[in-house]
Amino acid sequence: MILRRTLACLLLASLSLAAQAQGYPNRPIRLVVPFPAGGATDLLARAVSQKLGAQLGQTIVVDNKAGAGGSLGSQEAAKAAPDGYTLLLATSSTHAIGPHLNPKLGYKVEEDFTPVAHVANAANVVLVTPSLPVKDIKELIALAKLRPGQLNYASSGNGTIVHLSSEAFKSQAGLFITHIPYRGTALAIPDLVAGNTQLLIDSIVSGMPHVKDGRLRALAVTGKTRSALAPELPTVSESGLPGYESVTWFGVYAPKGLPPAVVARLNGELNTALQSAEVRERLAKLGAEAASGTPAQFAALVKADGERWGRLIRERKITLEQ
């Protein structure tokens, strides 16, 4: 009798989840963006959510919950009901880097979230001050080895993807270059132009305008392949440091426990949206390339990325207070 009751309860629960998925969505969906409005992550979220909402037949409300490097919004999303009506647009910073920098983050990626879809990747560009006598990555590495400790690189702050990308470059090339952190790369640009710092790895979208007006020099992009926004630039890997790659990924998560049928529906609709010319064009203007794949593939990517950055953080003894 106990076994029959248990099986009956499981059957009812299964039917309830199936019914929920079949009628999903029947009201607006909230997409939490853990960064300020107007930034790259916010603009990317709005580009994708507009198309996704049209496909689902429901409004997707972008809700900016900025603070603590993206952890505040991520915490809020993790605590929401796993019903498909609260989603999170996560990034490398919130789910691959943050867990290794902040032991008091307030959430655990695998325990508190359900992976839904890999949305996009964004590579950066290696910029140098025009007064630096280098024209490619090989020459930059050679000069840095000739002048150990005499060159400075700027970053958007301790523990950011810009900081870690630069440290990965230094580590792989065996260089000694001093780190100068700023509160965002926009504040670092004037010093780079003036020659007070010599190197910066920045977003292609925000960095290339300074290259085009002659204020800075671009050496390479950090992705696995060349960027459509700057096709003339080689990758770091092909121009002097084989195997180097650093990209920021963006992806959608839901709270842990989201029914598999809802996960599958969202994943399929997101993949469809990301294949549209409209969305791909809008992402390209933000320096991002649309992605695709299954939830399992997305989870594997995040895990591998987290392990990679975790190793670097431990090896280079990187902290938020540096």
**DSSP bridge pairs for 88:** 32, 253
- Give the whole-angstrom CA distance, residue 160 versus residue 98: 9
Q: Which helix (H) or strand (E) holds 31?
A: strand 29-33
Pick from 73, 78, 77, 86: nearest CA to 27: 86
Q: What is the CATH number of domain 28-122+248-315?
A: 3.40.190.150
User: Model-level pTM?
Assistant: 0.89
Per-residue pLDDT in tens (0 to 9) along the chain, 322 residues: 565 665 554 444 444 445 456 789 999 999 999 999 988 899 999 999 999 999 999 999 999 999 988 999 999 999 999 999 999 999 999 999 999 999 889 999 999 999 999 999 999 999 999 999 999 999 999 999 999 999 999 999 999 999 999 999 999 999 999 999 998 888 999 999 999 999 999 999 889 999 999 999 999 999 999 998 899 999 999 999 999 999 999 999 999 999 999 999 999 999 999 999 999 999 999 999 999 999 999 999 999 999 999 999 999 999 988 6
- Fold match between domain 28-122+248-315 and domain 123-221: yes
pLDDT the model gives residue 17: 47
Joined tokens for residue 110: 């695998």
- Which residue bears the tokens 């540096």? 322
DSSP-derived 3-state class of residue 316: coil
Q: b/e map of 233-263 (b: 16 or more CB within 10 Å)?
A: bbbbbebbbeebbbbbbbbbbbbeebbebbb
- Give the whole-angstrom CA distance, residue 291 versus residue 297: 11
State the distance between the two ends of the chain, measured CA to CA, in whole angstroms: 63
What radius of gyration, in Å, describes the C-alpha atoms of the chain? Answer: 22
- Give the whole-angstrom CA distance, residue 77 versus residue 79: 5
Q: Give the list of residues 6+ apart from residue 154 with CB closer than 8 angstroms, or none.
A: 180, 181, 182, 185, 188, 191, 192, 197, 199, 200
Architecture of domain 123-221: 3-Layer(aba) Sandwich (3.40)
Largest CA distance in the chain: 83
Q: Please give the full DSSP string across 196-238, using - where no structure is assigned.
A: SS-EEEEEHHHHHHHHHTTSSEEEEE-SSS--TTSTTSPBTTT
Pick from 77, 56, 50: nearest CA to 66: 77
Sign of the four-CA dihedral 310, 311, 314, 317? negative
98 within 8 A of 71, measured Cβ to Cβ: yes
Give whole-number Cα distances, 188 to 194, 195, 199, in Å. Answer: 10, 11, 10
Q: Where are the domains of the chain?
A: 28-122+248-315, 123-221
Whether omega for the bond prior to residue 148 falls within 30 degrees of 0, making it cis, is no
